[in-house]
């Protein structure tokens, strides 16, 4: 099971945990936007500590706290509730979608930022102008919860509030792209591609593996099925450290619910399975494009495999495995 609390983040549990409703896994990026500055009149950034205390102890702040508060200038992160709980940073109107709960996870991130903030004498117009320290760690953790590197309603710079995408697709939804909400943030957000430092003896170059198959693979209703890639059902075999993502195209009746999970298969035949991740529902066009990701390590002779489940008969028509592999 992925970590409920992000590794490396400061844990400030405010309580008030509540389950999500299930559905496609989502992440919601916000900026705190606590001052209105302009290019002509920039203002100093509100201190991270002030916002941490606001969300962590102020009654009004706790009622709107996200999962993560992120300082993109220093990389500091504070987490207020576990990934499995809803947080409360989105508006949620009575009778509609329960925005803060509408997914297997709905992980919300507030970046400490507003346009034309001033830090160390320098003015930053967009979040992406900042160093974005800590972004790689946040992205890796959110990927581990099954949130794909996708913007179903568009990137923050140009997004819509498409309610169908919100209900049926997994991925990142800017605050501006969430139904029932009227905020314009976050305006920009860092890319999913992470620039890594040059390798060294301590940080060896990984082997990049890409496998694909367009051979149909049937899914029986309400049955977990191991998915083979180009060679066999073993995606990787230890000893190895890895970061892997599987991309699946699934055909079936509209509304068919699909889940996925990785598992470790040991030499003696027993397996250790992850928590199932809701990959979404087949759309009106009879197609669901889904992604499930996982970083980790495999001991000697342990194999990594992937299982998929659907509540109605369905077919995997195409799949791609992309992984980075470091030999242990």
Give 10-residue mean pLDDT values along the chain (328 residues).
85 93 95 97 96 96 97 93 96 92 96 97 96 92 92 96 95 97 96 59 64 82 85 77 84 93 82 77 88 79 90 91 73
With b for 16 or more beta-carbon neighbours within 10 A and e for fewer, the 245-280 pattern comes to bbbbebbbeeebbbbbbbbbbeeeeeeeebebbbbb
The span from the CA of 178 to the CA of 171, in Å, is: 12
Quote the tokens at residue 132: 């974005």
Give the CA-trace dihedral at 148, 30, 124, 137, to 10 degrees.
-40
pLDDT score, position 230: 58
With b for 16 or more beta-carbon neighbours within 10 A and e for fewer, the 176-204 pattern comes to bbbbbbeeebbbbbbeeeeeeeeeeeeee
pTM value is: 0.63
Quote the tokens at residue 133: 């320290």
| Cα distance from N-terminal residue to C-terminal residue, the chain | 22
Q: For residues 131 and 73, is the Cβ–Cβ distance under 8 A?
A: yes
> Judging by beta carbons within 10 Å of its beta carbon (0-12, 13-18, 19+), is residue 213 exposed, middle or buried?
middle
Looking at the domain that runs over 10-177, which CATH code has it been given?
A: 3.40.80.10
pLDDT score, position 54: 97
φ, ψ for residue 101, nearest 5 deg:
-120, 0
Comparing 10-177 with 207-327, is the CATH topology the same? Answer: no
pLDDT score, position 198: 44
Q: For residues 225 and 242, is the Cβ–Cβ distance under 8 A?
A: no
Looking at the domain that runs over 207-327, which CATH code has it been given?
A: 2.60.120.40
pLDDT score, position 232: 62
Domain positions in the chain are: 10-177, 207-327
Based on DSSP, count helices (H) and strands (E) in the chain, helices before strands: 4, 20
* Count of C-beta atoms within a 10 Å radius of residue 215: 10
């Amino acid at each position: 099971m992925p970590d409920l609390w992000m590794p490396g983040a400061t844990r400030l549990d405010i309580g008030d945990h509540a389950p999500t409703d299930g559905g496609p896994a989502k992440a919601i990026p916000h900026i705190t936007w606590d001052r209105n500055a302009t290019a002509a009149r920039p203002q100093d950034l509100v201190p991270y500590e002030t916002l941490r205390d606001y969300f962590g102890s102020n009654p009004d702040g706790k009622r709107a706290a996200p999962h993560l508060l992120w300082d993109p200038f220093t990389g500091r992160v504070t987490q207020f509730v576990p990934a499995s709980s809803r947080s409360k940073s989105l508006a949620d109107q009575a009778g509609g979608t329960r925005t803060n709960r509408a997914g297997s996870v709905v992980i919300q991130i507030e970046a400490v930022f507003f346009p034309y903030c001033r830090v160390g004498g320098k003015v930053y117009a967009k979040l992406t102008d900042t160093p974005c320290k800590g972004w790689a760690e946040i992205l890796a953790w959110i990927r581990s919860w099954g949130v794909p590197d996708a913007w179903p309603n568009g990137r923050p710079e140009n997004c819509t509030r498409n309610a169908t995408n919100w209900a049926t697709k997994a991925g990142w939804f800017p605050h501006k792209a969430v139904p029932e909400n009227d905020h314009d943030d976050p305006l920009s957000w860092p890319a999913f591609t992470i620039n890594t430092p040059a390798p060294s003896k301590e940080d060896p170059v990984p082997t990049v593996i890409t496998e694909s198959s367009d051979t149909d693979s049937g899914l029986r209703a309400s049955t977990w099925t191991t998915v083979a890639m180009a060679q066999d059902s073993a995606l990787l075999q230890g000893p190895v450290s890895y970061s892997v993502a599987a991309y699946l195209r699934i055909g079936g009746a509209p509304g068919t619910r699909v889940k996925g999970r990785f598992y470790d298969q040991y030499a003696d035949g027993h397996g250790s399975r992850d928590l199932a991740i809701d990959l979404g529902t087949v759309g009106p066009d009879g197609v669901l494009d889904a992604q499930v990701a996982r970083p980790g390590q495999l001991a000697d002779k342990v194999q990594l495999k992937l299982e998929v489940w659907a509540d109605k008969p369905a077919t995997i028509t195409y799949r791609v495995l992309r992984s980075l592999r470091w030999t242990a």
